[in-house]
Structure 1
Amino acid sequence: MIFDPLPIASAFEVRLEPRRDARGLFARVYCDDEFRAEGLVTDWVQMNISVTIGQGIIRGLHFQAGPVPEAKLVRCLSGRAHDVILDLRAGSATYGRHAAITLDAEDRNAVYVPPGVAHGFQTLTPDVELQYLHSARYAPDHEGGVDALDPALGLDWPLPPAMRSDRDRNLPPLAEVDPL
């Protein structure tokens, strides 16, 4: 596996090193030893998927705070998504900054999102399925988010926003979110 650092401290694009032959390919998508060597979370307690049927739909920017902050490892299983992370960690040298990559089922890449960093995405194709590994169980009392369309973030969504949930439309701007 290849860990490409993103402009957010402790965040990485994780790329595979496939072994190919006439049958196809084989690749590791997770290795405890390699994640530990990078200083990343290696205890995954929950796996989720999201399926988004339309193009241009934005989900996020979400985080889990308090006593149960979570790291995430997010991979695209079908389609393509413009994936965005936003550093909300108090005292972080990259607080308030964001990074974006394209998650693509054909590339089989992933993004490692450290605890204290919000995550969201916009679908670039119809029928996008993302798989999430979470380091903490879902705790609804500790979930939060930042408005993905807050102009102060300077996010450049590649497509006009097609749809957002009621919850996401009512998330606060960054200026109203306490550092984590």
Structure 2
Amino acid sequence: MRITETAVRDAYRIEPEPIPDHRGTFREGLRHSALLAATGHDFRVRQVNFTVSGRNVLRGIHGTTVPPGQGKIVTCVRGAALTVLVDLRVGSPTFGHHDSLRQDAGSGTAVYLPDGLGLGYVALTDDTCMNYLCTEEYVHGTIVDVDALDPELALPWGLTEPPVRSARDAAAPSLAAAAAAGLLPTYEECLRAYPKAPAPRG
């Protein structure tokens, strides 16, 4: 697999290499040692989530407070989505920066986001299913919401019609308002929270 950093610091794109034969294909979706070597983070799964969305459903931008934090690896396992990541860490060199990628079931391309980064996506097909591998279990009240249509962020959704959103997402504050209200984690908090590999024994 290829693991490459995105335009958002500490976020990585994971592109598996399919191995085809007469039955179909095989691919590795995640190899712990390869992700550790690329990121320096000891990714451990403590919760698995799925979302299913109709075409033109826009979810996000969602992050998590630190603590507890919640790193994620997100993959599209059915359908297709345009995924956007945003740096929500106040004081980060890439605070407010974003990157985007198309994810679909055929490619298996995943994105890794550690604590402090936000994610949203718009479903490009009906019955789009996204899979989340999470480093922490969900804790009520710790989700950070930022308006995916914040004009200052100007995220590249490519919408041709108004998206379908939850009432909560539609009411989310802009990035600037969320920062002013103290809702966002700091870069320093997130760096301290990132999981490090255990020291070798002996």
State TM-score, norm by structure 1.
0.95
Partner Cα separation in structure 2 for residue 41 and residue 162 of structure 1: 36
2:127 is aligned to 127
8 Å contact from structure 2 (residues 76, 131) kept in 1: yes
Partner Cα separation in structure 2 for residue 105 and residue 112 of structure 1: 17
8 Å contact from structure 1 (residues 41, 71) kept in 2: no
1:91 Cα shift?
2.3
8 Å contact from structure 2 (residues 66, 115) kept in 1: no
8 Å contact from structure 2 (residues 64, 144) kept in 1: yes
2:51 is aligned to 50
SS of match in other structure, 2:168? helix
Residue 172 of structure 2 aligns with an amino acid whose one-letter code is L
Runs (4+) of structure 1 exceeding 2 A deviation are 159-162
Residue 55 of structure 1 aligns with an amino acid whose one-letter code is R
2:82 counterpart of 1:82 = yes
Deviations 1:64-122 (A, max 9, x none): 11311111100001111010111011321111111110011111111111210011100
Partner Cα separation in structure 1 for residue 42 and residue 119 of structure 2: 16
Partner Cα separation in structure 2 for residue 8 and residue 156 of structure 1: 15
Which residues of structure 2 form unaligned runs of 5+?
186-202
Partner Cα separation in structure 2 for residue 141 and residue 41 of structure 1: 25
Partner Cα separation in structure 2 for residue 133 and residue 2 of structure 1: 18
1:174 is aligned to 175
Aligned residues: 179
8 Å contact from structure 2 (residues 79, 126) kept in 1: yes
8 Å contact from structure 2 (residues 15, 109) kept in 1: yes
1:143 is aligned to 143
Identity of aligned residues (%): 36
Q: Which has the larger radius of gyration?
A: 2
2:198 is aligned to none
SS of match in other structure, 2:67? coil
CA RMSD of aligned residues (A): 1.1
State TM-score, norm by structure 2.
0.85
